[in-house]
């Protein structure tokens, strides 16, 4: 179960079937969201493992897969996916998006302080009431 939660935390757009033998969704690779489907018939083992994706990515993935060697049986799917997705190829995380949002909100802080100051010092006359 720990391995499954690690995979889901690292790849939140990759959704498993109820028996964890088919994973469908998207991963970020080189700042692109790529639709992918992964079959793991003997989960958590990588025996019989297959990846279904667009044809233009097939060669890149085959080259990466051929250079990957399973040292231990418990390396599993999570370690393999992390191997395929290098650190520089990671897309934005939720934390990154939140930090950008927070920076943008903070940049408007001076505006809202000036607005509150003007609002407290002025009277608005509503002609309808």
- The model carries a pTM of 0.42
Q: Are residues 42 and 102 in the same domain?
A: no
- pLDDT tens, the chain, 129 aa long: 666 777 777 676 777 777 778 778 887 766 777 788 888 887 767 677 777 777 767 666 666 655 555 554 445 566 666 655 554 445 566 777 777 778 888 888 888 888 888 888 887 777 776
CA dihedral 77, 81, 82, 83 (to 10 degrees): 100
Q: Are residues 46 and 8 in the same domain?
A: yes
Q: How many domains does the chain have?
A: 2
Q: Taking a C-beta distance cutoff of 8 angstroms, is the pair 54, 35 a contact?
A: yes
129 part of a folded domain: no
Q: Are residues 24 and 76 in the same domain?
A: yes
Q: Are residues 96 and 84 in the same domain?
A: no
Bridge partners (DSSP) listed for residue 23: 16, 38
58 part of a folded domain: yes
């Amino acid at each position: 179960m720990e391995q499954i939660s690690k995979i889901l935390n690292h790849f939140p757009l990759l959704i498993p079937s109820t028996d964890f033998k088919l994973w469908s969704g998207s991963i970020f690779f080189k700042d692109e969201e790529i639709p992918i489907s992964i079959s793991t018939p003997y989960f958590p083992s990588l025996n019989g493992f297959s990846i279904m994706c667009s044809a233009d990515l097939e060669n890149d993935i085959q080259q990466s897969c051929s250079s990957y060697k399973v040292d231990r049986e418990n390396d599993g799917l999570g370690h393999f996916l992390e191997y395929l997705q290098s650190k520089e190829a990671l897309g934005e995380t939720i934390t990154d998006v939140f930090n950008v949002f927070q920076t943008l909100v903070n940049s408007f802080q001076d505006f809202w302080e000036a607005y509150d100051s003007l609002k407290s010092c002025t009277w608005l006359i509503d002609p309808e009431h």
